Amino acid sequence: MSSNVDVVKSVYAAFARRDIPAVLAAFDRDISWQTPATLPWSAGAYHGPEGVGIVDTATVRDSFTAVHA
pLDDT at 19: 85
**Range 13-40 burial, b when 16+ CB lie within 10 A, else e:** ebbeeeebeebbeebeeeeebebeeeee
pTM of the model: 0.60
Q: Are 67 and 11 in contact (CB under 8 A)?
A: no
- Picking from 1, 8, 2, the residue whose alpha carbon sits closest to that of residue 69 is 8
Task: Name which CATH class applies to 3-63.
Answer: alpha beta
The more confidently predicted of residues 42 and 15 is: 15
Question: Domain locations in the chain?
Answer: 3-63
Residue 57: per-residue pLDDT: 64
Q: For the segment 21-65, what is each residue's pLDDT rounded down to a tens digit?
A: 888 888 889 988 887 888 766 677 888 887 777 666 666 666 666
Between 1 and 47, where is the model more confident? 47
Q: What is the pLDDT of residue 34?
A: 83
